[in-house]
A and B are shown apart, each in its own frame.
Chain A
Amino acid sequence: MFDQFLIRKDSLENVTENGRVTGFKFAVRIADYRGCFLSLHNGYYLTVDGVEYPNELQKFQINGKEPRTYEELKTCCWEHWDYDDEGFVYVQKEGGLESGVHHIGIQQSILAQYGYMPWDEEWVLHPPVPGSGQGAGKTETVSFFDIALSEGGNE
């Protein structure tokens, strides 16, 4: 669902910390017809220009709070990502992205379910790795975007 609209197309920017470019970020929506408890958000399979950026290099920013790792989000059992709201995926990459258009592949992982399923215990012990096919919520496949880096808009 909403696969083509998962990323806001004018949202790709480099991230600067203490005067140095440390990565990039972009805005996403929940690709479902409902929001979710934040604890269910299990990250993104993400490639940019053919380079894969695993969950360990990502953070997720939502609800006006600082960007958080997915390990931190796991404990946010009572905080909700509302359906109407946009979140930001932050990705660590020394120097950020170069000017111009980038080819982004993305699949969202939300462990939303409609009740008990045979794989439940397995998912507690070994949560699905985004992009592996399981736990993809309502994004069936990796979606691809060609998005230009927005420049000059950073703090």
Chain B
Amino acid sequence: MAIKRGVSLYSYQQSQFFKKLDWKAQIREVREGLGTDGIEIINEQLIRHYPFPTEEFLYDWRSYMARYNMQAVTMDVYLDVHQFRDHVMTHREAAEHLKNDIRLAAKMGFQNIRTLVLVPIDVIEAVLPTAEKYNVKIGKEIHAPWPIKPGNFVQPKKGMAAGINFRAVDEIVELRERTGSRYVGLVPDFGIFQHSPSDVAIAYVKRHAKKPEAVDWILENAPAYGHDELIDAVDEKFPDHGIPINNIDRMALHKPCCAPEDLIDIIPYIVSIHGKFYNMTEIPGKPGCYEDKCIDYETPVRYLRQHGFDGYINSEFEGQRDQQDMGEEGLVDEVEQVRRHHEMLKRLLG
């Protein structure tokens, strides 16, 4: 029983985009640069000719993972409901999509798939037999701003948050208890412990807002407003502010959507964890030690250790997109960021 370190190759998306690191170089970095073995992938980032990879690709993948003695932990899969364009994908079609991803994950040696939080629970139930047959667990992501424990959660009606099903975690736990299946669980994302906007996000949104003072106003006043009310207030006070709703949401973040102790009850259901982060900076007075100033890692990791979580925390670096608007010189070094994240994980995991 131990908590293990891994990396979602999502973290190297920019290096892949610019052809600096292909998937093989990414795997070597995890083995040689970080000294660990856990690999998570984004199916549509890594697999050429998805969803119909060649036999050569599949064998090459398994062989390369074997050569470096790696573990294929989790494959992240998607649900694009407009794939057919002449109708919205039905739930049965969505289930077929997920089954195909499960078969693909099995062929690549993955232990788990991560489904998105918006995948309906009946779709997940419909694919459970396939998950069991192929010995691949389904983990539904718990992604901010979705709560583990909804409490008095108010359903937003605007922006991406309108799609929130705040009972998502309960539904998974109920399905698991009702069916007794070990093949359905959860993938918490450390973004649920983010308590303030990242400095790189604030700088990005200010660079692009027509009225940057609106950003300062949101940072100061968001705690006094509900989700939808804040959007109306910004529109009213700063007409033509030019800030998309998703960025208002990012700037308005002022408390984590989950308390660290919320993790304790769901530990038995966790298949793997996303170690989300935006910007690892040196801790003042502690040379060589790093932190992400906007996400609490220390407390949740302590609970995970105390309550016996046995599985992988896979680094998921997401700070690059806020630093891609300043030319090539302004691009962040993903490899260095993930190395710093693993310095932190090693230190916290003991």
Residues of A within 8 A of B (CB): 1-5, 29, 33-37, 39-40, 74-75, 77-78, 80, 82-84, 111-118, 120-121, 123-124, 127, 138, 140-141
Contacts and interface: CB of A to CB of B under 8 A. Distances in A.
A115 B82 CA distance: 9
A34 B247 CA distance: 21
Interface of B: 10, 13-14, 16-19, 42-46, 48-52, 78-88, 116-120, 162-163, 208, 244, 246-247, 321, 324-325, 327
A77 B83 contact: yes
17 contacts: A2-B14, A3-B325, A5-B17, A34-B42, A75-B85, A80-B44, A82-B48, A83-B45, A113-B80, A113-B81, A115-B79, A115-B120, A116-B163, A117-B162, A124-B86, A127-B85, A140-B246
Contacts, number: 114
Contacts of A84: 16, 19, 48
B324 A116 contact: no
Nearest to B82: A111
A128 to B, nearest CB: 11
A1 B244 CA distance: 14
Main secondary structure of the interface of A (DSSP, over half): loop
Given A33-B13, A37-B80, A40-B80, A4 B327 contact: yes
A55 B78 CA distance: 27
B45 A111 contact: no
Contact of A1 (B16, B19, B116, B321): B321
B87 A29 contact: no
Most chain B CB within 10 A, of A39, A83, A112, A138, is at A83
Nearest to A112: B80
B163 A124 contact: no
Nearest to B91: A116
B162 A118 contact: yes
B3 to A, nearest CB: 26
Given A117-B162, A118-B162, A83 B44 contact: yes
A114 B324 contact: no
Contacts of A35: 44-45, 50
A124 to B, nearest CB: 6
A40 B83 contact: yes
